[in-house]
Amino acid sequence: MPVGTKGAMRGVLSKSLEEEIDCDIMLSNTYHLFLKPGEEMLKQAGGLHKFMNWNRNVLTDSGGFQIVSLGALNTLDEEGVTFQSHLDPSQVFKLTPERSMEIQNAIGSDIMMQLDDVVPATVGEERVREAMHRSVRWLDRCILAHKNSEKQNLFAIIQGGTDLEMRRECCEEMVKRNTPGYAIGGMAGGEDKEDYWKTVARCCELLPEDKPRYVMGIGYAEDCMISALLGADMFDCVFATRTARFGTAFTKYGMIKMKKEKDAEKFGPLSEGCTCYACQNFSWAYISSLFRRNSSAIQLLSIHNIHFLIHMLRDLREAVVEGRTESFAVEFFKNYFRDEKEGV
């Protein structure tokens, strides 16, 4: 899922997401939408879909991630988290599980995330355990407060750091609540890759196969690919568009920077075989030249990078259905990490 934190992505319009990328779902953030444009504005507009003219699905994060990302501006207790606005320090508000549900009901997102107690996977065991148990308790409060369960799907979030036993305990408790889907939270926070893989694998083993399994905050192509091979279905990250703003393209042969002078005269597409709007209409040389003098290049790179990740995973899904998962994965990694690509 591409990320439009405040209901929009830098350099990519809703129309481009729908018509040029064929993106089915995007992510926005409850905390940021609450501050601006504000809950009342979204209610008057008839929800986020109408406000941003987006006819497909929206998933909203609950505001839990800001417990970590804006740690200096909040205090946490069993009731919820009290924030000092990063936009206006005089504005202080409390986000509770009930309030998060109320705001997300007003946003009208198709998938709502529970408010969870988010901690990086690298913090101490005692704090991880506290966050895990609190997240279970907060899910119960979210379920009771959710007012539109027929149209909006509430996902639970599994916590427990890289402790596989805590993850097991949390999965078992969350599955008892029988939510429409489950997220694996608290990852991509500085843990070792091997711990990451083991944690994702363990959670996917324990979560229902017939419901979506969503690894939060993952945007590297290789991480998405391996996580999907382990059983995950959904991912989100700002990485595709953020790295585009710095002139990096996702390609069949890895991530490659526009700044590499040796590529400035490449007259093929950004990525071999790519069917995105940028690759079908412009050469690497043109976009590279544009990047040095015109912001339109960022739009083209953003469209390409989002398209690359979405269609990489669609190709994997097709390979799974056709029974050629292993050969597809081997070919992907052989190309993506080939020595001579000289990528990032």
Give the catalytic positions in this structure. 61, 236
Beta-bridge partners for 183: 157, 214
Name every residue whose Cβ is closer than 8 Å to that of residue 262 and which is 6 or more positions away in sequence: none
User: How many other CB atoms sit within 10 Å of the CB of residue 130?
Assistant: 17
Q: How far is CA 28 from the centre of its chain?
A: 9
The burial class, CB within 10 Å (0-12 / 13-18 / 19+), for 340 is exposed
User: How many other CB atoms sit within 10 Å of the CB of residue 252?
Assistant: 19
Name every residue whose Cβ is closer than 8 Å to that of residue 314 and which is 6 or more positions away in sequence: none
DSSP structure class, residue 3: B
Q: How far apart are CA 275 and CA 124, in angstroms?
A: 46
Q: How far is CA 149 from the centre of its chain?
A: 22
Could you give the angle at which helices 125-145 and 97-107 cross, rounded to 10 degrees? 50
Minimal CA–CA distance to 238: which of 154, 302, 160? 302
Q: How far apart are CA 127 and CA 115, in angstroms?
A: 17
Name every residue whose Cβ is closer than 8 Å to that of residue 149 and which is 6 or more positions away in sequence: none
Unique residue bearing structure tokens 């009930």? 98
Q: How far apart are CA 289 and CA 277, in angstroms?
A: 18
